[in-house]
Amino acid sequence: MEDEPIIREVLVEYMEIAGYSVFVATDGEEAMRLVDHENLDLAILDIMVPKYNGFEVLNYIRLSHNKHIGVLMLSALDDVNSQVHAFNDTADDYIIKPVSPIILLKRMETLLRRVKSQISWQEGLKIDHEGYRALYNGIPLKLTLSEFLLLQVLYQSPHRVFSREQLILNIFNEDYIGNDRIIDAHIKNLRKKLPFNCIKTIVGVGYQFQKEEAYEVKK
């Protein structure tokens, strides 16, 4: 996306000569449609565009099926706040216009190098954030609200270890007063309902969502 047609033409041509397939959207809505219907590796988002702005598209991407794609924000705004906003929303780069086409291309390729080497660890388990549902191969699991919230937090940051305290903060309001061990109880119930054992205990630390099984100890 790029709000000035002529510059956009140049950039697109540049990228196509370099061997990339390029899709162009003229507003945020169209961009979202591309996210849904094309298998993108990278998105270049102009912030100031009609319908939905770049930040909104960015957030849409990160909640989408293709959330791992590289996102490069493009803007005439040189202020710190806008940049911090972009990075906080997990943009991968922020480029201030006007930009030399060659530098844009180099930054694209640099990001692609990192993006391409990622693997998607997700398999059958999906979280429907809006619907408060966890789906396994499309079939919803019957979770209580606490169980769902617990799974959601763990699932969103796979392999990150959350202490019981952190989980309590994430799941309940921060004014919760009660025993740490409430987490144990919910974990127990959640584990029973999950089709595979993906919640691992880190003794003395907390719990994490994990995909791979660990090596067995050699004898």
Among 84, 181, 195, 211, binds DNA (CB under 7 A): 181
- Residue 27 CB neighbour total at 10 angstroms: 17
Pick from 21, 59, 144, 157 the residue near DNA by CB under 7 A: 144
Sign of CA dihedral 75, 81, 87, 89: negative
Q: 3-state class of 191 per DSSP?
A: helix
Which tokens sit at 107? 């930054």
**Nearest C-alpha neighbor of 45 from the set 99, 93, 110:** 93
Both tokens of 3, joined, read 């709000």
The tokens describing 211, both together, are: 């995909």
The token pair that represents 38 in the structure block: 């094309």
Alpha-carbon distances of 166 from 72, 203, 212, rounded to whole Å: 31, 15, 23
Contact call for residues 191 and 152 (beta carbons, < 8 A):
no
Quick check: 68 binds DNA (CB under 7 A)? no
132 binds DNA (CB under 7 A): no
Q: Which is nearer to DNA, 114 or 188 (CB)?
A: 188
2 binds, options DNA, a second copy, none, Cβ within 5 to 8 A by partner type: none
When CB distances are held under 5 to 8 angstroms depending on the partner's kind, the choice from DNA, a second copy, none that residue 182 binds is DNA
- In the complex, the smallest distance separating the C-beta of residue 155 from a second copy, rounded to whole angstroms, is 14
Stretch that binds DNA, among 65-73, 80-88, 128-136, 200-208 (CB under 7 A): 200-208
Sign of the Cα torsion 148, 153, 156, 157 reads: negative
Binding DNA by CB under 7 A: which of 125, 187, 198, 209?
A: 187
**Smallest separation, CB 26 to a second copy (Å):** 27
Report the nearest approach of DNA to the CB of residue 206 (Å).
7
How far is it, in rounded angstroms, from Cα 104 to Cα 4?
A: 16
Q: Can you give the binding site for a second copy, defined by CB under 8 A?
A: 80, 83-84, 87-88, 90-93, 100, 102-103, 106-107, 109-111, 113-115, 117-121, 128, 130-133, 136, 138-142, 144-145, 159-161, 192-193, 202-205, 208, 210, 212, 214-218
The β-bridge relationship of strands 93-96 and 125-128 is unpaired
Nearer to DNA, 17 or 214 (CB): 214
Q: Which is nearer to a second copy, 136 or 155 (CB)?
A: 136
Name the residues that contact DNA, by CB under 7 A: 144-147, 172, 176-179, 181-182, 184-188, 191, 201, 203-206
